[in-house]
Amino acid sequence: MLAAFQFHVFTTGARMRDLIGHHYYKLDAQIVHATIGQALERLRDACHALLTDLDADDHPAP
C-alpha cells in the first residue's frame, strides 16, 4: 500500500510541478491551493508524525 501511495504522490506531484514550471502563467493561485491544499496538509501531518516517531525512537522516555 505504501508503494501505491508513494507512486500516486509522485505522479500527482510531478504533474503539478510540470504545470507550475512550464505553464505558470496559466495558473490561478487560488485554484492551485484549492486543488492541493488538503493533500499538502495531510502530507505535512504525516511527515510530522513520522518525525515525532523517529525522535521518540532516538530518545525513549525514561
In a domain, 32, yes or no: yes
In a domain, 58, yes or no: yes
- The average pLDDT across 16-43 equals 81
Residues 14/48, Cβ–Cβ less than 8 Å: no
Rounded CA-CA distance 62/47 in Å is 25
pTM for the whole thing? 0.46
In a domain, 19, yes or no: no
Instruction: Decide if pLDDT at 49 tops 70.
Output: yes
Alpha-carbon dihedral sign for residues 10, 11, 12, 15: positive
In a domain, 47, yes or no: yes
Residues 20/27, Cβ–Cβ less than 8 Å: yes
In a domain, 17, yes or no: no
Rounded CA-CA distance 40/26 in Å is 21
Instruction: Decide if pLDDT at 7 tops 60.
Output: no
How many structural domains is the chain composed of? 1
pLDDT band at 54 (very low <50, low <70, confident <90, very high): confident
Q: Which domain holds residue 36?
A: 26-62
Q: Which residue has the higher pLDDT, 29 or 24?
A: 29
